[in-house]
Amino acid sequence: MGWSGSIPLSWALPTTLCSSSFLFKQSCLPVPAFASHELHFPINEEANSDYEVSVIVQRSSINCSRPFWLSRTNKNSRICSSQVKVEDITEDETCELVNGVELSIGEEDDAINAYLCTAVKNNNGTGILLLSDVFGFEDSATRDFAYLVACNGYNVLVPDLFRGDPWTKERPKDLFEEWRARQNPEHIAKDIFISADWMVNEFVAAGITKKLGIIGFCFGGGQVIDILAHNQGGCFGVGVSFYGTGISASAAANIRVPVLFIAGDNDPLCPVNNLKDIGKEIEHQKMVVFQGRGHGFVHRPESPEEDEDAEKAFVIMRNWLHDGLAIET
């Protein structure tokens, strides 16, 4: 069944425990410099079956140590809680070693670029497809988030949804709609499924049969819903949509897997009322709304307060993935 427990790996020496598949061969590569960062997350092993519920996360006045988004090497970092119960740290926890590698997936004209983060130590043999916002798969905020997810034992693939033409902050804002119109939804969906098929094939080669998880931010958060609605092959077992844009309620009605929605109640691009209407169409869903938060606060926090809520959102997402994917055998 692949890797499911601790695998002793040396920092300096290559391991001989690698699978023959490409996905797990990457764990034999030298660990990049950023793998020296430490993260300190609480571990919650309790299953979460609380679907079809909306949770409002109030802003907390509890004083915390410097959040991990601002200082990943702070040994005193912990998660604070308000209405959402989050376990306190009782002892130091270090991030799993992570490898990052650039890929080209597919053949000839269909080939797409992607970035893969794999957990070297305690790899749980589970794949996550991470869909970026409009700034693309090379954006540092998206890659940092992929790294954090991989730190928890996952193999995270971030495909280039825009084929080398992501939106950039340097472009005039009045050109955005023109750029957006050039992004063909059918081509993007095709690339997402090519990426998913690649991961499934890698897991099959490694003797692993677990389904994939899919996560998306903003534009990618909307794509999560569209892809799950057309998940005919059943390769995805769970989804997470962070403040998704352009989501269709009619598409959501076709989703048959659990979906977690995370958003802020002050986000004009992802109105909470719209999310609630969409959530009614999905049989198994959970919605977590953060009070006073706008768009992008989880992967692009801009203040200590947003940083604190980003930590909470990450733990909620991590537990959702664990309950839906990692604990399955």
Reported as a single tens digit per residue, the pLDDT across 170-182 is: 999 999 999 999 9
The string of pLDDT tens digits covering residues 91-128 is 334 455 899 999 999 887 789 999 999 988 888 889 99
Phi, psi dihedrals of residue 235, rounded to the nearest 5°: -75, -20
The string of pLDDT tens digits covering residues 283-300 is 899 999 999 999 999 999
Question: Is residue 90 one of the residues assigned to a domain?
Answer: no
Question: Is residue 312 one of the residues assigned to a domain?
Answer: yes
Question: Is residue 157 one of the residues assigned to a domain?
Answer: yes
Question: Is residue 300 one of the residues assigned to a domain?
Answer: yes
- Confidence check: pLDDT of 217 > 90: yes
Question: Is residue 21 one of the residues assigned to a domain?
Answer: no
Which one of 92-96, 235-239, 244-248, 249-253 scores highest in mean pLDDT?
235-239
Residue 61's pLDDT is what? 31
Number of domains in the chain: 1
Residues in contact with 171: Cβ distance below 8 Å, sequence separation at least 6, in sequence order? 179
Question: pLDDT band for position 231 (50/70/90)?
Answer: confident
Residue 211's pLDDT is what? 79
The string of pLDDT tens digits covering residues 56-75 is 444 333 222 333 443 333 33
Parent domain of 243: 98-327
Question: Is residue 56 one of the residues assigned to a domain?
Answer: no
Question: Is residue 310 one of the residues assigned to a domain?
Answer: yes
Question: pLDDT band for position 3 (50/70/90)?
Answer: very low
234: CATH: 3.40.50.1820
Question: Is residue 165 one of the residues assigned to a domain?
Answer: yes
Going from the C-alpha of 133 to that of each of 77, 159, 204, 258, the distances in angstroms are 28, 11, 29, 22
